A and B are shown apart, each in its own frame.
Chain A
Amino acid sequence: MRLLKNKLLIIFLVISLFLTGCWDNININRRAFVISMGIDKFVFDEEKDDPKLNNDLSRYRIAFSIPNLPKFVGQQGVSDEPKYTRVSVGTTITNAYKSLESRINKSIYFGHTKSLLFGEELLKDKVLLKQTMDVLQRNSDFGKSIPVVAVEGSVVDALEVLPDTQPMVGIYIMELFENNKERRSFIEEKELGNLLQDFEENKTGLIPRLIVGEKDLKLEGAAIIKDYELQGWLDEKYLKGILWLLKKSYRLEISVPYHDYYIAYDVSDSETKIEFSGDSQDLSCKISIETEGSIDEYILDEEMFQAEEIRNLEKAVEKEIEKEVLDSIEILQKKYKTDVIEIGKRLERQKPEIWKEIKDNWDEVFENMDFTVDVKVYARRVGQIK
């Protein structure tokens, strides 16, 4: 019995050691959930900024969007606004959000961050962008499936927009991305993990562009990043061509000129094959696209339901797709000189010997490469009427 009593005493002592503190225990209502975070480079604005901030230490301007919880959930709360936006200036990203902790009465938490916004100035600054990417990867608080968008303008403005349907910008963007996944829109969606992968493997990346409106936000086009520097903004029509090549075209619709009107072709499935021929001096690439889809819009008093007519329609669509793809490739080659379509990766896999020779000046080779596109379109379905 004595031994038992001793054992119990020891156990008790050990346990009380553990009870000295629940170190990580933060009550859930003491957390400030950052729903979206906008990272931008600090550019001194004479009218609005404090002159004290105009020094070398201010490198980042970061905006945090935090919901007003009771209002968000539908209860009565202290204030009526659905969200708060706080902006913080700092030397490093960590510095920026840690200094925020002395301004907000809750503890900053990134576990529910729903989207990241990159400002235009940030994208133009190579060093800052690299550092940002590093922080986002190193810190385990950020999930790898967070959508990333690029803002043409200031992130603070973007985050302060109050869309009608969903006050939180972050969630709005995330839902836009979900639309995309469900094949209803066409942007190149980028999640944090994918973006990091792109940057590391190819040194290039494509980030969807967010356009800020009065009461809503729109995702259109993309930002082209090469070697951690913004090269330019790609318009939507060129983006479509790229999507064909990235094998992510199953949600596209194409307006094809036909006679004197336009018809709509909706893609349901497509396959893209890329083949290379030639040697390291004279490389050319053949892209074969095969797609299935349906004709969604025609014209009322004509009849579509004959094999020949369908074939004509198909040919028209083929031509249009070819044009789209070639236009996009040309813009990538000539204007931006960036291989965002992963041609290099394909070449590495298919012809590793050639890749070994030319990989060091791949940019030049890409610029001068010869591309041919061969499209085959099958219109399988025509809708309800003839």
Chain B
Amino acid sequence: MGIKDWFKNKTERKEQWEDAFHDEDNKITIPLSKKLDENIKNLEILFQDCGDFVRRKFPVGVNKEINVFIAYIDLMIDRRIIEESLLEQLIVQIRSVPPQMDRIKTSIYEFIRDGGLATADIKEVESLDEAVLAILSGDTILIIDGYAKVIVISTKGWPNRGIQELDSEVVIRGSKEGFTEALRMNTVLIRRRIRDTKLKVKQLQIGTRSRTDIAIMYLDDIVRKDILEDLEKRLDSFKIDSILDSSYIEELIQQDWMSPFPQIQATQRPDKAASAILEGRIAIVVDNSPFVLLIPSTINNFFQSSEDYYDRWTIMSFTRLIRFIAAFFSVGIPGFYIALTDYHPSMIPTPLTMAIAASREQVPFPTVVEVVLMELAFELLREAGTRLPGPIGSTIGIVGGIIIGQAAVEAKIVSPVVVIIVAVTAISSFAIPDNSLTVGFRIVKYLIIATSAILGLYGFLLGILIVLIHLVSLKSFNIPYLYPYVSAGITGYNDLKDSIFRLPLFMMYKRPVYSRHEQRIRFRMKKKNE
């Protein structure tokens, strides 16, 4: 018995969420009491050592007989609202109304609530937990002596970045707004683009300590109910202490955590989120994160950029094709180069073969080591460039690339061809619109380098097969990841119109597979007599 228990102790995770005031979900269990002083004492204990907790107790009424208590967190609120709409009303205005004490006394609460507060957004809560949550969200609470109810007044006004121009996902033509860290602002940006009552904004809170607000936005009549249910089930399936960024949610609800490929798309652009919702997908907006998650996502979504739809379709189809070629290059070129030069040089045209062989005369390393070395050096440069601020970063990138590359060639550490190969690979990986997919390719590239180095062209092929097999079995919320290149028969090959090329708008008259079956048609040219 002893060993078993000891083993169990070691392997089980101890969960400790509870203490005197909080239950296992970090929710406060103390009830509200009718006595104001008790409530104040509880609040003081909970907010002990919180220097930014501001409270004020004051009497209202002509004869100052009712005690009222407000509390908020400093600087999370818009002071003007408190001072003008709240306090002025309570202290000044109410005082000027002659009291009919009997009538008023019995329902002072309703009086204050209905007539004393001049703000637009008022809520009643009946538990201390919700009240505390409200304080911590930037609202002001108002407790009236004698009532075990708390009025929550919306006064949110913390400092934030405001809507700025995006630095990633940039388009030349199209809106330049981007999401910010405030949940409400983000939902507003989407609302402006879809003025439909069927656009639902379902709010949840996830994270026992962070209590992060999460809004799920979708179009009620288009979205597929099974995907919605699946999403809610997954969001419900874990308990975490905090959600610091939407990527936490992404990691926790995705299907295959081992895969290097992203299964959920994240965007900073409101128009992209709006267009996704209009296709029947679901947008997850997370407070404190400027990245909105879009589910379900197939690999095609990662190759699309908003610009595709704003520019002319011919040039954009061509650009899409280039993106696909770039994706293939970024994965395959180093491996292919190794396979060709080391195993089958007969396939390279003779003058080039001679040139490569001549340039490799003094290089000490085998080809594989060269390629891996340069790739790693490039990763280093990339990482360094991200850390350095602004213009210095990009300059170092260029300088590093050119000068170090040149010097390495002259010192005969690498051959010039390898530098070109690595540079082409890197540039190709930048051509993919969505960065998260690039990360997947960067990892897979090394796998293919390894298989090509061992078994030549055969190994290259096997490596690509492994990747394909993996991709083919991935599903994002039950839709095959490689849709619409496989299983396109589901929608009658409709989705191929927006895959490698983008057909003109009037040809894409049906919604893609994400939407419900009967809600497909979204476009129609008007007939003559309409």
Contact = CB atoms under 8 A, between A and B. Distances in A.
Interface of A: 18-19, 22, 24-29, 31, 33, 35, 67, 69-70, 72-73, 75, 77, 109, 111-112, 114, 141, 143, 171
Contact of B453 (A25, A73, A112, A141): A25
Nearest to B344: A111
Interface of B: 341-347, 350, 353-361, 363, 366-368, 453-456
5 shortest interchain CB distances as A-B pairs: A111-B346, A73-B358, A29-B360, A69-B358, A28-B341
A102 B347 CA distance: 26
Contacts, number: 77
Given A24-B455, A69-B354, A69-B357, 13 more contacts: A22-B454, A22-B455, A25-B368, A28-B345, A28-B353, A28-B357, A33-B350, A33-B354, A72-B358, A73-B358, A111-B344, A112-B346, A141-B346
Nearest to A110: B346
B437 to A, nearest CB: 25
Contact of B357 (A19, A33, A35): A33
A24 B353 CA distance: 18
A69 B359 CA distance: 9
A155 B453 CA distance: 39
Contacts of A69: 354, 357-358, 361
A28 B454 contact: no
Contacts of A109: 345-346
A33 B353 CA distance: 9
Chain B interface secondary structure, helix, strand, loop or mixed? helix
Contacts of A111: 344-347
Contact of B355 (A22, A25, A27, A73): A73
A369 B363 CA distance: 67
A29 B368 CA distance: 14
A25 B341 CA distance: 9
A67 B367 contact: no
A307 B421 CA distance: 64
Nearest to A72: B354
Contacts of B354: 33, 67, 69, 72-73
21 contacts: A18-B454, A24-B455, A25-B342, A25-B343, A25-B456, A27-B342, A28-B342, A28-B345, A29-B360, A31-B345, A67-B354, A69-B361, A72-B354, A72-B358, A75-B358, A77-B358, A111-B345, A112-B345, A112-B346, A112-B353, A114-B350
A28 B354 CA distance: 9
Contacts of A73: 354-355, 358-359
B357 A24 contact: no
A22 B343 CA distance: 10
Nearest to B349: A112
A314 to B, nearest CB: 45
Given A18-B454, A112-B350, A112-B353, A70 B361 contact: yes
Contacts of B358: 29, 69-70, 72-73, 75, 77
Contacts of A27: 342, 360, 366-367
Nearest to B258: A4
Contacts of A18: 454-455
Nearest to B342: A25
Determine which residue in A25, A69, A114 has the highest number of CB atoms from chain B within 10 A of its CB, and name it.
Answer: A25
Residue of A29, A70, A75 most packed against chain B (CB within 10 A): A29
Given A73-B354, A112-B353, A26 B361 contact: no
Contacts of B357: 28-29, 31, 33, 69
A19 B341 contact: no
Contacts of A19: 454
Nearest to B347: A111
A75 B344 CA distance: 24
B363 to A, nearest CB: 8
A28 B415 CA distance: 12
A25 B369 CA distance: 13
Nearest to B345: A28
A77 B346 CA distance: 23
A314 B356 CA distance: 55
Contacts of A26: 342-343
A24 B456 contact: yes
A81 to B, nearest CB: 15
Contacts of A29: 357-358, 360-361, 363
A193 to B, nearest CB: 16
A111 to B, nearest CB: 3
A343 B124 CA distance: 106
A112 B346 CA distance: 6
Nearest to A21: B454
A69 B358 CA distance: 5
Contacts of A24: 342-343, 455-456
Contacts of B355: 73
Contacts of A28: 341-342, 345, 353, 356-357, 360, 367
Contacts of A25: 342-343, 366, 368, 453-454, 456
